[in-house]
Amino acid sequence: MKDSTGPVVLITGAGGGLGQVLMKAFRDDGWRVAGGYRVLPSNLETDVHYSLEIDVTNKSQIERSVERLVNECGRIDCLLNNAGMIEDALSWQIEELDWQKIMEVNLKGAFFCAQAVSMQMIKQRNGHIINIGSYSGRRGTAGQAHYSAAKAGLVGLGQSLAREIGSRNVRVNTVLPGLLPTRMTSSLAPEQLQNLVNENALRRINNLEEVARFIVFLAKMQNVSGQVFQLDSRIAKWM
C-alpha cells in the first residue's frame, strides 16, 4: 500500500534494529516511509511504503534509488543516515581493508546519500538530513579507532553540510542514540555490556522507541541545524 500524501523519509540501514523501529515510528506519524536495505529481505517490513536496494558503499546505486523515490513521490523531506557497522579491534590489529570498510559504510556512505538527496531538497527549498552518530565519535573508544574516527567525521560532515545548504532551508543534524539493545550490542560479553551501562549516570541502556520518537520530532523541526544531540546519560566535556 502506497499513500500519496504525507512527507517522505528515506531510512538507510532499514533492516537493523533501530532502522525497523524508526520505520514504524515515522509511519505512525503519517510519513511515507522508504526503507533502504543493502539486500532486499524476502519478507519486507509492513511499516515501509517503498523498499529500495541501497548499498551505501555504491554511489551509483544510491543515486538510482533516490531518483526512483523522487519520481514516485515527487519529493523527499528527510534522509536518515542510519546504515552503519562496527568491528572492534585494537588499533595495531586493524588491517587496511578493515579500516576502509568501516570508513565506507559509516562515513563515505552517509556522504553519498546526503549528496544524492541534497539537490532535490535545495530545489524544494526544504529538507532535513539526520545522521546517526555515536558517542564513540565524541569521546573515542579503545578498540574502535576506525569506528570512532568515522563517527567523529560524521559530526564534521553534518556541520559542514549545515553551513553549505542552510540558506536553502535544508537542515542537517547528528544524533548520538546511546547504547541500544540491537545486534551491535548483542555480541558483547556480559562484563563489557555492564561496563558500558555503568558509564551512564542513570545506569541503564537506552530505549529504541524513545530514540525513534526523538528523531521523528527532530525531523519536523524547522529552526535547528548543525547540532549534535546525545540521547543517553553519559557525561563528558564538550571539546
> d(Cα 122, Cα 23) in Å, to the nearest integer?
24
pLDDT (0 to 100) of residue 210: 96
What separation in angstroms does the CA of 160 have from each of 13, 65, 111, 190?
23, 24, 11, 38
Q: How many CB atoms lie within 10 A of CB 222?
A: 9
Q: pTM to 2 decimals?
A: 0.90
Q: What is the DSSP string of 33-69?
A: EEEEESS--SS--TT-SEEEE--TT-HHHHHHHHHHH
pLDDT (0 to 100) of residue 178: 86
> d(Cα 96, Cα 105) in Å, to the nearest integer?
14
Burial of 190 (0-12, 13-18, 19+ CB in 10 A): exposed
pLDDT (0 to 100) of residue 88: 67
Q: Right CATH number for 8-228 from 3.40.920.10, 3.30.300.30, 3.40.50.720, 3.40.50.1360?
A: 3.40.50.720
pLDDT (0 to 100) of residue 89: 56
Q: CB of 7 within 8 A of CB of 31?
A: yes
Supply the residues annotated as catalytic.
Answer: 147
10-residue mean pLDDT profile of the chain (239 residues): values are 76 91 95 90 68 93 95 96 75 74 90 96 97 81 75 94 97 93 69 82 91 98 96 79
pLDDT (0 to 100) of residue 1: 40
